[in-house]
Structure 1
Amino acid sequence: MQLSEKITGNVARAVNPHGLKRMMAQQIETVRQRGTYVGAKRALILGGSASYGLGSRLTAAFGQGATTISVGYARPPQGDFLGAAGWWNQVYFKQAAERAGLVAQNFNANAFLSSTKQLVIDYIRQRLDGPIDLLVYSVAAPKRVNPEDPDEVWRSVIKPIGAPVTDYSVDLEHEKLVTQTLAPATPEEVAATTHVMGGEDWELWVRALKAAGVLAPNCKTILFSYEGPVATAVIYHDGTLGQAKRAAEASARRLQALLSPNGGEALISVNRSATTKASAVIPGFSRYCLALLQAEQVSGTHETTVEHQDRLFRDMVYGRQRQVDDLGRLRPDTWELSAATQSQVAQLLPKITPATFTSDLPGYQQYRREFRQLSGFDVPGVSVDFDRAELNGLVY
């Protein structure tokens, strides 16, 4: 069969497994070229199928030599559907790790569920040679069931607070810039978004692992956040997502108090912006990314997610080059937020409007290429021909 790329709005609806395999190999090589470093021995990555979770797993395995467990939640192949990109990422990671003599376990499960937590705890007890000493929380989800009331479902929203906001966003399907207006979130929506994207579930995981005796005394746990510049503040920092991140920071303080007496550590890392399937649907964010990518092409400061995560863990989590802010958060995003880069972005943004937008913009070309590669398309030298027999014998 010949694979055909499908993008609806800003949602990718098809994958090229061969392209995803090539991208996985390239990311592994990125880490290997930087050499090994001392870090975790056994890492649990929650949300390890893509983006910063996958980048964390890559540097843990191929930089630190760690055993890795990943909990991802992606649709597997079924019928005519070839599966989600995250499913394939997990498959190809496991294959590569095992070829390198590393232990890699995948769980395709909802990280929010108590049953998933127990599944992972049982695996650690029965199959690993020691407790977890790194827990990465990188879960991005549209909804979460209240663990105390299964009839209540919290749904996250990306909205401003207090007043409506109008901004421009990229429509990848039609390759144009469109205007979007968002109504302000209700108090109920703010609360629901905090339940889904704050630190509640992170705390539940840490406490469950600790109570089960499978968390090492010196365990480090980390959750990823984003601040961004003034240009995205009204939607991100000051909106529902920002409220959720403030709640996660409060969770970090409680977890630090829990873990620090035994040498453990709870960290928040404020990461750089990234081209991801989730960020592509944040109003206004994609236009900012076009300007940022174009500015970084000039400055040479752009990082892929795996490059960013490898630097974060190599230099800041386990190294001696920590950059922290007044709140004690790690700040690997300083390259993005440097005065020089943001000055260039500020000059470019007013020039990127629906009337002036063209698909020839260097920033757009890079953004679209990075977005397509998340699904395995636009990867140089990769065929779009796929034999369904290749699905036989795959172990997730």
Structure 2
Amino acid sequence: MVEFEQKLRGNIAVSVNPLGRKQQVLNHIDHVKSKGTFEGPKKVLIIGASSSYGLATRISLAFGAGADTIGVSYEKGPKSERNLGTAGWYNNIAFKEAAGKEGLIAKNFVQDAFSTETKQEVIDYIKNEFGGKVDLVVYSLASGRRTDPETGETYTSSIKAIGEPVVGPNINMQKEDYYTETLEPATEQEIEDTIKVMGGEDWELWLKALKEADVLTEGVLTTNYSYLGSELNHPYYGHGTLGRAKADCDEKADTINELLADINGKAQIVVATAVTTKASSVIPFFPVYCIGLYKVMSEKGTHETPIMHMDRIYRDMIYGDKPEYDEEGRLRPDSWELDSDTQAQTKALIGELNEENFNTDLTAYALFYKEFSNLSGFMVDGFVEKEVTIDELKAMEY
């Protein structure tokens, strides 16, 4: 029987509980169902669908709006009791099983979303087995590397400052340590490489391919998730390499809007709030911001997990009657995070933190750690331990 043990390397999870992940997917489905149904898209393509924002989007649209979905992701399955694969692998399986019970189509393409071949395979599937067209394309891909399909060159992103070093506090969850970190400035090449990986180029390539293949409906919508943050994290996020990549997505949205104009399509940048994801745990300084922010927002009743946030975005804002836009036309569900009193309290709280109190009830460290653990299937509400063999895990079909 396989034994599941939570293991970390710094702030990176290096183990997974497949059964815990299944329970968490079911928990998210229950959350959406508790909100009732809403009118939304019916044929959805989600690029980057296996975890965090992409998975939450897929769950919300399937179990809230009754959408058939295609999910594209790059994940790894189990090889041995010591190598059980990635959490996203099991998320795809759990989602497909649950969607199938509801009579919904849930097709998983587990392969490189950056490749031209994957784009063509998805297009062929839409044409031949998915009704011919999609009415929503969600781009939620998070990767540290990308191979350009035209040149074959591989680029690696960097999470760095721009101009000057940034010094600030960070957390090591493996050691439960609070320490000072220095984030070095990026070179021009590192900035450009980060834009190539995390910017909007691949989003644009997807929409071009889909448009040319005539698999987009009249009035199609495509969304891309961004993050701007506040003055508390601008030095290492908005004003760093990540911010440059997000700015490129803004520019590509304009290009995509021109591309889709003749079918009345729209590209929508969604500026999301700070939530716990695999990425947020490894962005320098960001965990400290989160444990302060979450404490304040929890007390105000405005803290959200990815499923809560994505369901609100699609149910209330994009397909509802409560949208909030900024002067750039971006959807701003992050307004709860950026509330002036919330930010002032967060700033004051972070200013009090040190190695003695960062993991006490003064902060939301325990909440952040639990949400982080949930991503790998640990500390999941409602989970009941069951025996499973490696052969049973290998037999699961995505």
Under a length normalisation based on structure 1, what TM-score does the superposition of the two structures give? Answer: 0.97
C-alpha contact 2:171 2:177 (8 A) present in aligned 1: yes
1:84 and 2:83 equivalent? Answer: no
One-letter code aligned to 1:164: P
CA distance 1:155–1:207, shift in 2 (3 Å): same
Tell me the residue number matched to 2:64.
Answer: 63
Map of 1:17-166 to 2, 5 A cutoff?
A: 17-80=18-81, 81-150=83-152, 152-166=153-167
Tell me the residue number matched to 2:196.
Answer: 195
- What 5-or-longer segments of structure 2 have no aligned partner? none
The 2-side partners of 1:46 and 1:296 are apart by 30
The 1-side partners of 2:67 and 2:381 are apart by 30
Q: CA deviation at 1:271?
A: 0.1
- For residues 93-112 of structure 1, give each alpha carbon's deviation from its aligned partner in whole angstroms, at most 9, with x where no partner exists: 00000001100000111111
The 2-side partners of 1:314 and 1:381 are apart by 26
C-alpha contact 1:50 1:86 (8 A) present in aligned 2: yes
Tell me the residue number matched to 1:387.
Answer: 388
One-letter code aligned to 1:316: M
C-alpha contact 1:57 1:68 (8 A) present in aligned 2: yes
The 1-side partners of 2:359 and 2:44 are apart by 44
- What 5-or-longer segments of structure 1 have no aligned partner? none
The 2-side partners of 1:109 and 1:361 are apart by 43
Under a length normalisation based on structure 2, what TM-score does the superposition of the two structures give? Answer: 0.96
One-letter code aligned to 2:34: Q
Tell me the residue number matched to 1:305.
Answer: 306
The 1-side partners of 2:164 and 2:356 are apart by 26
The 2-side partners of 1:171 and 1:50 are apart by 22
C-alpha contact 2:281 2:287 (8 A) present in aligned 1: yes
**Matched pairs, number:** 395
C-alpha contact 2:226 2:272 (8 A) present in aligned 1: yes
The 2-side partners of 1:38 and 1:9 are apart by 42
C-alpha contact 2:297 2:342 (8 A) present in aligned 1: yes
Q: CA deviation at 1:278?
A: 1.0
Which shows bigger deviation, 87-96 or 377-386? 377-386
One-letter code aligned to 1:354: E
SS in 2 for 1:320: coil
Map of 1:216-295 to 2, 5 A cutoff?
A: 216-295=217-296
Which shows bigger deviation, 42-51 or 120-129? 120-129
Query: What RMSD over aligned residues (CA atoms) do the two structures have, in Å?
Result: 1.3
Q: CA deviation at 1:386?
A: 3.7
- For residues 195-245 of structure 1, give each alpha carbon's deviation from its aligned partner in whole angstroms, at most 9, with x where no partner exists: 111100000000001111111121100000001111110110000000011
Q: CA deviation at 1:148?
A: 2.0
Tell me the residue number matched to 1:174.
Answer: 175
The 2-side partners of 1:351 and 1:177 are apart by 13
C-alpha contact 2:96 2:106 (8 A) present in aligned 1: yes
The 2-side partners of 1:362 and 1:21 are apart by 29
SS in 2 for 1:134: strand
